[in-house]
Chain A
Amino acid sequence: MVPESYYVGLSAILFTVGVVGVVIRRNPLVMFMSIELMLNAANLALVAFGRRVGNGDGQAVVFFVMAVAAAEAAVGLAIIVAIFRLRRRLSVDDLSLMRW
């Protein structure tokens, strides 16, 4: 049986790749996909810890995370499409109106 620490280490690697992806990319769609990557890394850690504890609570939490991720992806993509309709460009550097 593979120890849980391997899964958690893999989860840390995937989470870091997701964070770097959000920061270095300019395309909001790719940034969104990197966010999905981070959510999945956290889910993997939850399932691994859940196996260590020995009950299904971790998996129930992962189920809710999936539902929230689905809602987040739908709303986020709708916002991106609305912004694209308005400005005809797709780069996060243009969207600095609400930044101080």
Chain B
Amino acid sequence: MAHAAFFIVAAIAVVSALGLVLRRNAIHGALFLVVNLGSIAVLYQTLGAEFLAWAQVIVYAGAIMVLFVFAIMVLIPGKEETGPDPRRAWRLLALPAGALLFLQLIFVVSSARGGAGSGAPPVGGVAAIAGLLFTRYLFPFELTSVLLLAAMVGVLLLARRRV
């Protein structure tokens, strides 16, 4: 049962990722990416990471995708990849290179000497993650706020109308 659910969600994730890459229309790609992020949230849930599953939906599918869709709307989609591609032959080299990368990844992962799993029950509730974030990872957590502030100021500077 769990295996069947995993394979269904994994198939949705792979198909939506391929849709993002292969569709010409950027807005279709954005919608495929939403589906992909949602299916990854489901996979987090099956891994026991409940907090991350909801953070994924809120931060990625909510905030970041709204940003993407807004940028696509502003930038007039569908007009940028219509002409013939002068470097098509070079770009198609990405397919064998990607296959090679995939084989490498599988090789590295499968040859890793993983110790036996601890068998501990998965921790992923809000309390467990919050306990980690506010004790062991307190300093990176505070640095994250500085990073977000810097990003906000940078975006304001970039989006300023030149006079």
Contact = CB atoms under 8 A, between A and B. Distances in A.
Interface of A: 1-2, 4-10, 12-21, 23-27, 29-30, 32-34, 36-37, 40, 43-44, 47-48, 50-57, 59-60, 62-64, 66-75, 77-82, 84, 89-91, 93
Contacts of B49: 47, 50-51, 59, 62
Given A14-B14, A34-B21, A52-B114, A80 B71 contact: yes
A5 B55 CA distance: 24
Interface residues of B, number: 85
B20 A51 contact: no
A74 B59 contact: no
B131 to A, nearest CB: 8
Given A36-B33, A77-B67, A44 B40 contact: yes
Interface in B61-89: 63-64, 67-68, 71-72, 74-77, 79-81, 85-87
